[in-house]
Amino acid sequence: MNFLSELDAEICNELQQLNNFIEQAIKDDQFITEACLPLLNGGKRLRPLLFFTCAKSNNNCSLERLLPLATAIELIHTASLVHDDILDQSSVRRGISTANASYGAQIAVLIGDYLFAKAFQLVAENNYGDEVSLTLSRLVKNLCIGEITQDRSLFQVPTITEYYKKIRLKTAEFLSTCCRLGGIVAGLDRREIEALTIYGTDLGLAFQIVDDWLDFFGDVDITGKALGGDLKSGVVTLPVIRALDVSIQSAFLFEIVTSGFVSDLDVITAIDIIRETDAANYCKTRAFAHIDSARINLPDMQNTSTKISLEKIADFVVDRSW
């Protein structure tokens, strides 16, 4: 989290307060607390960070007002990861055992459901208004649609258009929602809220493209995840799409990714094929293009430090190694 040291000191303090608030929020039951805390520790906290940063464009927003909604955002994110790990049968995330690996799929489903329910309880208890509730409900609906779409297209090669539709639903809309909620709570005008929403969308597209890049070109010791995890699960991402377009071994790679079962040896072979192409540069170029678009769409905010922080977050998203 080195990029945090470059952000506004007050926002860094708010993220620490968020960690404390999260811990208190899930103390309904001792088992639930013990099961959820490891899942909620760590991570980038990018989503609540975006919310805090956009909300701080209005200096009249108190931390007490922001914390419950920021917590709800992080709980929704974690709940979606818990359910993702069940679907993908993942055993490790962020270097620790997933909920399904520790407690089995049935308990893991309920842990995810609990986190979703707790998030909406926090929103309801703190009277954020209909627009906030509707925005979050729409987000969760689209997260589910994105996951269903992905699950129904496993071991199939999507078009670029289909790929972008999926990552918009699964990732980009979440980041744009965080920015939008920050603008709503800050009481910004509609033009500024829409500009922040567009910024968040492009930021989210870049974020997911970099995530997909890391799945083939990242450092396992830094990411905490084995290379080719998506491929092994049958999820065909941008590096694979690009390699299929340009590799002289395209037919062999196509056989691997559409086989219905990808072995560990297949993953190694596929990674070698993909790394022999320009897939790495291709993905990074697309990610940088989205970051450039995100910067252009930043509103001319009265609080200049907010804009500077959002630009630094954009730098982190595209340059990160984890």
pLDDT in tens, 48-75: 999 999 998 877 789 999 999 999 999 9
Contact 300, 192 (CB under 8 A): no
Quick: pLDDT tens for 76-105.
999 999 999 898 888 877 778 899 999 999
CATH number for 75 = 1.10.600.10
DSSP string, 274-305: HHTTTHHHHHHHHHHHHHHHHHHT----SSHH
Report CA-CA distances (Å) from 170 to 182, 191, 262, 271, 288. Answer: 20, 25, 23, 24, 20
**pTM metric for this prediction:** 0.93
Kindly report the backbone phi and psi dihedral angles of residue 93, in degrees, each rounded to the nearest multiple of 5, phi listed first: -145, 135
**DSSP output for 163-197:** HHHHHIIIIIHHHHHHHHHHHHHHT--HHHHHHHH
Residue 95's SS3 state is: coil
Residue 137, amino acid: S
**pLDDT grade, residue 222 (50/70/90)?**
confident
Average pLDDT score over residue span 118-133: 96
- Say which residues have a Cβ less than 8 Å from residue 77's Cβ, sequence separation at least 6: 43, 47, 174
Task: Compute the average pLDDT of residues 138-152.
Answer: 94
* Residue 105, domain member (yes or no): yes
Assigned domain for 4 exists: no
**DSSP state letter for 96:** E
- The pLDDT score that the predictor gives to residue 42 is 73
For residue 48 the two structure tokens come to 């609540």
Which residues are CB-neighbours of 229 under 8 A, at least 6 positions away?
A: 88, 90, 215
User: pLDDT at residue 316 above 50?
Assistant: yes
pLDDT band at 300 (very low <50, low <70, confident <90, very high): confident
Residue 2 has pLDDT above 60, yes or no: no
Q: What residue type is assigned to position 147 of the chain? A: E
With a cut of 60, say whether residue 13 has pLDDT above it: yes
Q: Can you tell me the mean pLDDT for 138-159?
A: 95
Whether 318 is covered by a domain: the verdict is no
**pLDDT value of position 305:** 81
284-301: string of b/e by CB count within 10 Å (b at 16+)? bebbeebbebbbebbbeb
Q: Which amino acid is at 230?
A: D
Which comes out higher in pLDDT, residue 174 or 45? 174
In a domain, 135, yes or no: yes
Q: Could you tell me the two tokens for 51? A: 């919310």
The pLDDT-based confidence of 1 (bands split at 50, 70, 90) is very low
Statement: residue 295 has pLDDT above 70: yes
pLDDT tens-place string over residues 227-268? 999 999 999 999 999 999 999 999 999 999 999 999 999 999
Residue 169's identity, in one-letter code, is L
Q: Which tops the pLDDT comparison, 296 or 90?
A: 296
197 close to 168: Cβ distance less than 8 angstroms: no
Residue 74 belongs to some domain of the structure: yes
Tell me the pLDDT of the chain averaged across its residues. Answer: 92
282's torsion region: left (phi>0), alpha (psi -120 to 50) or beta? alpha
Domain span at residue 297? 9-313
| 322 assigned to some structural domain | no
In a domain, 204, yes or no: yes
Task: Name the token pair of 95.
Answer: 């270097």
Q: Per the structure, how many domains does the chain have?
A: 1
Provide the CB-side half-sphere exposure for 1 (13 A, CA).
12
* Residue 175 CA, distance from chain mean position: 7
Average pLDDT over residues 177-203: 96
